[in-house]
Amino acid sequence: MSDANVEDNGEDVADDFAGAATAQSVLTYLTKSIVEDPDAVEVGVNNSGERSTLEVSVAPGDMGRVIGKRGRVANAIRTVVRAAAVRDGAEVDVEFLD
């Protein structure tokens, strides 16, 4: 069997996320396109769980733009970013931080 079939330990999760750079790039691009202050956009990575979590923080006045009415914009961003991660063979969650 190849190493791809071996269950990942905690260290390998970070290596798997390195392969999902497309998801992080897509998330950064989409978020910066929506907000008024693109320089304030920060995307961090949290590898503590089974999946990697991309944590997005924006300027206080831009959070409403990113969330959208009833969370529709946020859900659309999550869908696109998850699709980008699948392209790289990874699973990610997106969390918007206040």
Amino acid making up residue 42? E
Structure tokens at 25: 């790039």
> Would residue 70 count as lying in a domain?
yes
CB 43 within 8 A of CB 54: yes
Q: 13 exposed, middle or buried (CB, 10 Å; 0-12, 13-18, 19+)?
A: middle
Spell out the per-residue pLDDT of the chain, length 98, in tens.
334 333 333 333 344 345 578 999 999 999 999 999 999 999 999 887 778 899 999 999 999 999 999 999 999 999 999 999 998 888 999 999 98
Range of the domain at 70: 21-97
> Would residue 15 count as lying in a domain?
no
Q: 36 exposed, middle or buried (CB, 10 Å; 0-12, 13-18, 19+)?
A: exposed
Q: Quick one: pLDDT at residue 71?
A: 96
* Number of structural domains found in the chain: 1
What CATH number is associated with residue 40? 3.30.300.20
> Would residue 79 count as lying in a domain?
yes
> Would residue 9 count as lying in a domain?
no
> Would residue 54 count as lying in a domain?
yes
Q: How much is the pTM?
A: 0.78
- Please give the full DSSP string across 76-92, using - where no structure is assigned: HHHHHHHHHHHHTT--E
Q: Quick one: pLDDT at residue 88?
A: 82
> Would residue 7 count as lying in a domain?
no
Q: Quick one: pLDDT at residue 77?
A: 97
> Would residue 13 count as lying in a domain?
no
